[in-house]
Structure 1
């Protein structure tokens, strides 16, 4: 008996979780990159004498 294409592919739930996982990973990486850039700006501003 031939197998249907669905039985060999990942489940819909697994695919959804994988997509959401990538979304969360990309979001977290962008937040971390923004924090690094903000920290660098703050450091450069303090070197220039611009303190709060």
Structure 2
């Protein structure tokens, strides 16, 4: 059995930032979709 080496800190932080960024983008897409759906249903934010 071999011991797995830890990946470098910059690589681990890079994955963390990438996942965070993708989750922010996904949340924005969902919010935009909900806004379009509400607008189509005649609801408004004004």
Give the alignment's TM-score, normalised by structure 1: 0.72
RMSD of Structure 2 on Structure 1 (CA): 1.7
Stretches of structure 1 that go unaligned for 5 or more consecutive residues are: 1-8
Kindly tell me the number of residue pairs found equivalent between the two proteins.
41
Give the structure, 1 or 2, with the largest relative contact order (CA under 8 Å, sep 6 or more).
2
* Deviation beyond 6 Å, 4+ runs, structure 1: none
Q: Which has the higher helix share?
A: 1
Stretches of structure 2 that go unaligned for 5 or more consecutive residues are: none
Larger Rg: 1
Give the alignment's TM-score, normalised by structure 2: 0.81
